Structure 1
Amino acid sequence: MRKLTYYIACSSDGFIGDPNGDATSMFAFLDEEFLGYLASTWPDTIAAQGREHLGLKGAENLHFDTVIQGRGSYQLALDAGTASPYGHLREYVASRSLGPSPDPNVTVIDGDLVARIRELKAEDSELGIWLCGGSQIAGELLDEIDELVIKTYPQVYGSGMPMFGGAGFAVTDFALQEVRTFGNGVLVRTYARKR
Structure 2
Amino acid sequence: MRKLTYFIACSIDGFIGDPSGDATSMYRFVDEEFLSFLKAEHPETVPAEARKALGFHEAESRRFDTVIQGRASYQLALDAGITSPYSHLRELVASRTLTESPDADVEVISGDLIGRVRELKAEKSDLGIWLCGGSQLAGELIDEVDELVIKTYPLVYGSGMTMFGADFNALEFTLDDVRTFGNGALVRTYSRKR
Classify the TM-score, shorter chain: over 0.9
Q: Which 10-residue stretch deviates more, 3-12 or 39-48?
A: 39-48
Cα distance in structure 1, aligned partners of 2:38 and 2:60 = 14
- Report what 1:84 is aligned to: 84
- AA in 2 matched with 1:6: Y
Shift of 1:56: 1.5
| Correspondences of 1:135-146 after superposition (within 5 Å) | 135-146=135-146
CA distance in 2, matches of 1:165, 1:122: 26
Give the structure 1 partner of residue 37 of structure 2. Answer: 37
- AA matched with 1:172: L
Q: CA deviation at 1:171?
A: 1.1
Between the aligned residues of both structures, percent identity stands at: 70
Kept in 1: contact 2:10–2:150 (CA 8 A): yes
C-alpha displacement of 1:20: 1.3
Return the offset for 1:41. 1.0
Q: Which residue of 1 aligns with 2:191?
A: 192
TM-score under structure 2 normalisation?
0.98
Question: Which ranges of structure 1 fall in alignment gaps of 5 or more residues?
Answer: none
- Partner of 1:101: helix, strand, or coil? coil
Shift in Å, 1:169: 3.7
Farther off after superposition, 87-96 or 34-43: 34-43
Could you tell me whether the CA contact under 8 Å between 1:70 and 1:137 is conserved in 2?
Answer: yes
Unaligned runs of 5+ in 2: none
CA distance in 2, matches of 1:85, 1:169: 31
| TM-score for both structures, normalised by structure 1 | 0.98
Q: Which digits, 9 at most, give the CA deviation of each residue in 1:98-127, with x for residues without a partner?
A: 121011110000001111100000001110
Query: After the TM superposition, which parts of structure 1 deviate over 2 Å for at least 4 consecutive aligned residues?
Result: none
Amino acid at match of 2:183: N
Question: C-alpha separation between the residues in 1 aligned to 2:100 and 2:118?
Answer: 22
SS of the residue corresponding to residue 141 of structure 1 reads: helix
For residues 125 and 79 of structure 2, the distance between their equivalents in structure 1, rounded to whole angstroms, comes to: 32
Once the two structures are TM-superposed, the CA of residue 164 in structure 1 deviates from its matched residue by 0.1
Which residue type is aligned with residue 114 of structure 1? I
Cα separation, 2, equivalents of 1:169 and 1:60: 36
Cα deviation 1:151-189 (Å, max 9, x = unaligned): 0000000000000002x2411000000000000000000
